[in-house]
Chain A
Amino acid sequence: SYELTQPSSVSVSPGQTARITCSGDVLAKKSARWFQQKPGQAPMLVIYEDSERPSGIPERFSGSSSGTTVTLTISGAQVEDEADYYCYSAADNNHWVFGGGTKLTVL
């Protein structure tokens, strides 16, 4: 089965750029999405199709892809961006695959 690998944690100061990577063989042929999850809340989509931003998501959130790695970039991270972030892709036959999640600390 496919796996997606993320760093367990990333830490930045407010205003700095946070980058969270996600690697996996499935990303060579399938696009990735990114979810943000804050404590006690359901996940919220922040990036789809590797780099598209849903309406309502701040412009500081962006995504990119290269080979088997995708990256979520938060430019000028703010305290309210502190959350868990999960990459996700739909493998063959619409099997969803989630990364293990990255805890972003902004302080």
Chain B
Amino acid sequence: QVQLVQSGAEVKKPGASVKVSCKASGYTFTGYYMNWVRQAPGQGLEWMGWINPNSGGTNYAQEFQGRITMTRDTSISTAYMELSRLRYDDTAVYYCVRLDGYKYYWGQGMLVTVSS
């Protein structure tokens, strides 16, 4: 079965960077785009962008341009999302999401807390 397993929670200081991993299993990793969505505490869903694991091509939401980098390592079926110059309002749960038609597969989410 499809599984997306994300890395554990992290606490970062303002201005630092965080790299979130998402290890895929149960399907051909290079066959499906990987999206990233975040949700701040008590807030709504926010799409961050996607990566094509086959080509490495990316597409980022305008709000994150210049601060976000999505990469992948096909040898270990893992996608990464790195967000730099962290601010307090980047505190959120970060999800990787795979879409197959109308079927969505979500990672368990990773809490990133930005605190001094």
Select one of B37, B107, B109 contacting A96, CB under 8 A: B37
Interface flag for B11 (CB, 8 Å):
no
Which secondary structure characterizes the binding site on chain A? strand
Within 8 Å CB of A37, what residues of B? 45
- Chain B, residues 26-41, CB within 8 Å of chain A (1/0): the string is 0000000101010000
Interface flag for A97 (CB, 8 Å):
yes
Given contacts A42-B109, A93-B59, contact A98 B102 (CB under 8 A): no
- B residues contacting A by CB (< 8 A) are 33, 35, 37, 44-47, 50, 59, 61-62, 95, 102-104, 106-109
- A residues contacting B by CB (< 8 A) are 1, 33, 35, 37, 42-45, 48-49, 52, 54, 84, 86, 88, 93-101
What are 11 of the A-B contact pairs (CB < 8 Å)?
A42-B107, A42-B109, A43-B45, A45-B104, A48-B102, A86-B44, A95-B61, A98-B44, A98-B45, A98-B46, A98-B47
